[in-house]
Homo-oligomer: A and B are copies of this chain.
Amino acid sequence: MTDERRKFKRESAKARKEALILATLELVAENGVRGATVRGIAQRADVTQGLIRHYFSSKEELIIAAYEHHMTAMTDQTFAPAAGVDGTALARLTAFVNASLTPPVVDPRSIALWASFLNKVQQDPQMKATHERTYAYFRDFLEGLIAAALEEAGRPAAPARLRQLAIACNAVIDGLWLEGGALPDAFAPGELADIGRQSVAAITGLNLEQEAEKT
């Protein structure tokens, strides 16, 4: 009677892959990489499990694709706002800190994904490479912004000093990102970005608040 074969619609490879990747990210965030089972992912994407093997040669490959998708999204969300500002270096630094500490970058799901992927990232060479590239890019970019802003203010810094400033500022941003994502209700909207700008200002001796008010 009801044991009819399931109806389906054909989709483009691009759309199906995207849907599977998004379903994978949801489940990885919720249950970790091992908890994101092939059957669960298929169900979330409203598809039967065999289809996954049609688009990805293994679960491993799907996981890697999902990780790269996520990292690209995070990078875009962080860098786009700062790149859009074409004023002073100080203005770009301010925009960068703000973007790093407001949604959608600050988000419980991002933290969950970060945590879930960590194990795999440290073991799989390809994922490790993606991670390190992204991290280095982030920190170098921040260091560049700080260097330019200091020069602009007439107080250029030596490379060693610059490295320390970048590490420290990166740490505040990371720490606030972590706290904001782990305890979403503990902070008022904009509070994290406020504290972030103040802290970067205190560490570098630059005045980011003045910049923030210009908006």
Contact = CB atoms under 8 A, between A and B. Distances in A.
Interface string A157-201: 000000010011011111110110011000000000011001100
Contacts of A182: 118
Contacts of A114: 115
Contacts of A32: 32-34, 119
Nearest to A173: B175
A156 interface: no
Q: Give this chain's copy count.
A: 2
Interface string A15-30: 0000000000000001
Contacts of A175: 170-176, 178
Nearest to A180: B171
Interface size class of A (residues with CB under 8 A): 35 or more
A119 B116 contact: yes
A64 interface: no
Interface in A47-70: none
A153 interface: no
Contacts of A202: 168, 202-203, 205
Given A171-B172, A171-B179, 6 more contacts: A32-B34, A112-B119, A116-B119, A168-B176, A170-B175, A174-B179
Interface of A: 30-35, 111-112, 114-116, 118-119, 122, 135, 164, 167-168, 170-176, 178-179, 182-183, 194-195, 198-199, 202-203, 205
